Homo-oligomer: A and B are copies of this chain.
Amino acid sequence: MSAFVAQSIQSKKMSDTKKTILITGGSGYVGTHTVLEFLQDGTYDVIVLDNSSNSIMEGLRRVEEMTGKKVPRYQVDLIDKQAIQGVFDKHKIFCVIHMASLKAVGESCKRPFFYYKANLFSAINLIEVMQENDVYNLIFSSSATVYGPPKVLPLVETLETGGCTNPYGRTKYFIENIFRDVCTVDPKWNMMFLRYFNPVGAHESGIIGEDPMGVPYNIMPFVAQVAVGRRQEVQVFGDDFDTPDGTGVRDYVHVVDLAKGHLAAMKKIEEKSDVQPKIYNLGTGTGISVLEIISAFEKYTGKKIPYKMAGRREGDVATMIADASKAGRELGWKTERGLKEMCETLWNFQSKNPYGYQGKEQQ
């Protein structure tokens, strides 16, 4: 708690002229890259709220080192409404980017109660505190998973959502619905949902990147851990999907492009709009298969990636590809980093940080 007090005193000296953005979950993978882009852009002041233990705060510490700027951060669990209020007491917040979320699909299937409680209580407490403090600008980190198994491709924002195949996805779907209903009845709300497709890669410096806990559920960090010798081989879950090579096809988006998407979204949310909520897919519009990922990684890094075929995982679908044209038109956002940069930056981070931020094998 003393750290909390120290941070809050420090934070009182933030710029008086810049608007302050609160990023929940700002010490995570997408969070750190987004904080970095915001600090480098310089338009906004940024504060971070996260329930992570200090060891996991290493990513944000590195962002501070890279930029020479301090980021006020609060170790607050969003399940604790009073603690959220404490942060709002100390800062005049213009907009919240709500990224904080339990997000491991596999874990959510094993511990659904834990996921529902954490993600739903967090979202509901957060918007309640926002309302009580007259803060009505909200950007919510949603996910392509809200579309459920695609009936048509590419996935466009106007499609019906639902039919999600795992508890994690359902939490995102439920929260979108709650937020939509809330902003539909109260015109003070200004909300945006960003539906991430598959974030991959790392900052080009190799200083920050993804640091998954336990066995990665997603293919890219799995490949990188095999490349660095932490795991023997990649398991390819399903080779009998209705796709060109039989493996799952996803729309991978470079985390730096994704981070820049938040900056574009932030500038957009400052325009008043009657359309509530505004919803944008953040993807590239291009599908890449698991085998293409493995082969690209080998090509761009020179590392051999052994793999073996395994059965499908429950709930995995054949193909997810974004129609990302709306974000292009309305946010002026387009991705600039392709498969080459995804592989190279991931490998750059992984080879410099073979065991992630901890520097050793995690339990």
Q: Which residues of A contact B (CB under 8 A)?
A: 109-113, 116-117, 120-121, 124, 127-128, 131, 160, 162-163, 167, 170, 174, 177-178, 181-182, 184-185
Bound state CA distance, A120 and B177, in angstroms? 13
Question: Is B163's CB under 8 angstroms from A109's CB?
Answer: no
Question: Is B181's CB under 8 angstroms from A112's CB?
Answer: yes
19 new A-B contacts at CB < 8 Å, known A110-B185, A111-B185, A170-B177:
A112-B178, A112-B181, A112-B182, A112-B185, A113-B124, A113-B127, A113-B128, A113-B178, A116-B124, A117-B124, A117-B128, A120-B120, A120-B124, A121-B121, A160-B163, A162-B162, A167-B181, A170-B181, A174-B177
- Number of copies of this chain in the oligomer? 2
Bound state CA distance, A128 and B120, in angstroms? 14
* Shortest Cβ distance from A127 into B: residue: B113
Bound state CA distance, A160 and B164, in angstroms? 12
Question: Is B116's CB under 8 angstroms from A178's CB?
Answer: yes
Chain B residues near A127 (CB, 8 Å)?
Answer: 113
Chain B residues near A178 (CB, 8 Å)?
Answer: 112-113, 116
Bound state CA distance, A249 and B2, in angstroms? 62
Question: Is A124's CB under 8 angstroms from B121's CB?
Answer: yes
Bound state CA distance, A356 and B212, in angstroms? 59
Chain B residues near A162 (CB, 8 Å)?
Answer: 162-163
A and B contact pairs by CB, cutoff 8 A, 19 listed: A109-B185, A111-B185, A112-B178, A112-B184, A112-B185, A113-B124, A113-B127, A113-B181, A113-B182, A117-B124, A117-B128, A120-B120, A120-B124, A162-B162, A162-B163, A167-B181, A170-B177, A170-B181, A174-B177
Bound state CA distance, A120 and B124, in angstroms? 10
* Shortest Cβ distance from A174 into B: residue: B174
Chain B residues near A167 (CB, 8 Å)?
Answer: 181
Chain B residues near A116 (CB, 8 Å)?
Answer: 124, 178, 181-182
Chain B residues near A131 (CB, 8 Å)?
Answer: 113
Bound state CA distance, A127 and B113, in angstroms? 9
A328 CB to closest chain B CB, in angstroms?
30
A177 CB to closest chain B CB, in angstroms?
6
Bound state CA distance, A259 and B131, in angstroms? 40
Chain B residues near A177 (CB, 8 Å)?
Answer: 170, 174
Bound state CA distance, A110 and B185, in angstroms? 6
Chain B residues near A163 (CB, 8 Å)?
Answer: 160, 162
A145 CB to closest chain B CB, in angstroms?
14
Bound state CA distance, A359 and B215, in angstroms? 64
Bound state CA distance, A127 and B114, in angstroms? 12
A184 CB to closest chain B CB, in angstroms?
8
Bound state CA distance, A178 and B175, in angstroms? 13
Chain B residues near A182 (CB, 8 Å)?
Answer: 112-113, 116
A113 CB to closest chain B CB, in angstroms?
5
Bound state CA distance, A113 and B188, in angstroms? 14
Best-buried of A116, A121, A170, A184 by chain B (most CB within 10 Å):
A116
A116 CB to closest chain B CB, in angstroms?
5
Chain B residues near A124 (CB, 8 Å)?
Answer: 113, 116-117, 120-121
Bound state CA distance, A124 and B113, in angstroms? 8
Bound state CA distance, A163 and B113, in angstroms? 23
Bound state CA distance, A111 and B186, in angstroms? 9
Bound state CA distance, A185 and B160, in angstroms? 28
Bound state CA distance, A113 and B162, in angstroms? 20
